Each structure stands twice: as structure tokens, then as C-alpha cells.
Amino acid sequence: MAALPASALAEIARCKRVLEHPSLAIRLADVVGGPIEFLMKRLPVGAQKIIASATGKALDVALGVALRTLMGRRTGKGSAWLHGAAIIAAGAAGGAAGLAGLAVELPVSLTVMLRAIADTALAEGEDLSRVETRLECLSVFAYGVRSSADDDADAAYFVTRAALAASVSRAAEYVTERGVAGAVAERGAPALVQLMARIAQRLGISVTDKAAAQLFPLLGAVGGATVNALFINHYQGTARAHFTLRRLERAHGAEPVRAAYDAAPK
């Protein structure tokens, strides 16, 4: 097995620091001045149902965007600034409306983040004309968060990636067979439902953290904008690490990259 160049090893180490140490909850806690776990306990009764429903609906919108519009993405100067401005504005509106505003704000926020993720994928050499690549952009929302199901004895990123790989592949095959219009019209197909359920399960953790930080203490519009700025920054960093690893795998092979990832310090 050929040794990887020092530049690749450095990139892999940076990616591991991002992917194995999700920092969203910690950064949100710094903003609101209290642990996220404590804030979550202060959420209104029934909040989890509202959050789960909002997450599912937002991902449904994002799926349509991923299948119908991402293939025409082109990286443009200033696009990162525009994405950030749009999601901060959405957060301000959502924060002012409280928990009820989450159902309106979250689809907007996820769509803007998905477009930012697509730009990152393009920058790392991904081909967005491929259905599988567009679904891979959507799957970024499943990374960058720790779940109770994660195996601490292994790299959580690669465990999650392996679990998603088959779902992404089956969903891409279904979309290719049915065509984009047919797949969008029949989102209840098992191949798409399974993929979306896997993503929603993990994204819901981050959305709950976001809602808790945004609503308690009552931060209002300014707090909502700040929380959303952290939210998009978190997933942009996750996307950059994910697609950097994929680029390195294309250049050097999956096995050497995984071995270097495992060997890199946490």
C-alpha cells in the first residue's frame, strides 16, 4: 500500500477533527449560556413532536430541491456570503415566531444549506449531474452529530457512512429508473422513505439542539439569527470534510484513506 503524501495526511487529520468531534451543541451552549441538555428539558410539552414533524417536512422539501435543481449548480463568487445571509434572515424570522415558526423556517434553512453543501461538493470535484451525488449532498445532514447508536470503538463517521451507503444507492437507482419527475411525485416509495428516515433520525438531534438554544432563554430574532449562523457553519464544515475525504479516496483509494483516518489522532 503506497504511502499517502503529507498534504493528504494533513487534510485527513483535519477532516477527522471535524467529523469525530461535532461541536454544534457546545457552540450553541456558549451562545445561550447554558448546557443544551438543560435547555432541552425546558422545551414546551409536545415540542419533540413539533420538531420531528418540522424536520420531516423540511427534508421532504430538500429532497425535491436535491433531485430537481442541484444538477445545475455552479460555484459563484460570493455564494457563500449569500447562503449565510439568507439563513441568518430565516433564523431571525423563526426566532421571532418561537417554536411555531420552526415549521416555516426550517425548510428554508435546510434548502439554503443544501445549496451551500452542493457548492462545496462541486469545489471538491463532485459531479452533480449524477443522482447519487445529489443524494449524497442531502445525506450530509446525517453527519456531524453524535447519536446514542454510534459505536465509540470505531470511527462514528465511517459507521454512519456505511449505514447510509446502501440507502443512498437504492434511492439513486429508484430515481434513475423512475425519472426525477416520477420520483418526486412518489416520495413514499420504500427506497426514498428509508433514506429520508435515516437522515431525519440524526438531523433531528441537531434540530432539537437548535430549537432549545433558540427558544430558551427567549432570545427572539437576534438569537434565532445567531443560532442559524452557527447551524449553517456547522454543516458547511461537515460537508467540506465529507467531500474532501471522497476526493482523497478518488485520488489515492478508499483503503489508504480509511487507514490514515483511523491512525489520525482524535
Q: Can you tell me the distance from the alpha carbon of 17 to that of 27, in angstroms, rounded to the nearest whole number?
A: 15
Domain count, the chain: 1
Examine residue 94 and state whether it is found in any structural domain, yes or no: yes
DSSP 83-134: HHHHHHHHHHHHHHHGGGGHHHHHHHHHHHHHHHHHHHHHHTT--TTSHHHH
* Domain membership of residue 207 as a residue range: 6-32+46-263
Residue 68: its pLDDT value, please? Answer: 86
For residue 81, the model assigns a pLDDT of: 52
What pLDDT score does 146 carry?
65
Is residue 157 one of the residues assigned to a domain? Answer: yes
What's the pLDDT tens digit per position in 208-227?
A: 888 777 766 555 555 667 77
220 lies in some domain = yes
**Does residue 105 lie within any of the structural domains?**
yes
pLDDT value of residue 78: 44
38 part of a folded domain: no
Name residues of the chain where pLDDT drops below 70.
1-2, 22, 31-34, 39, 72-98, 100, 146-155, 215-224
pLDDT in tens, 223-239: 667 777 788 888 889 99
> Is 39 within a domain?
no
In a domain, 1, yes or no: no
Is 37 a domain residue?
A: no
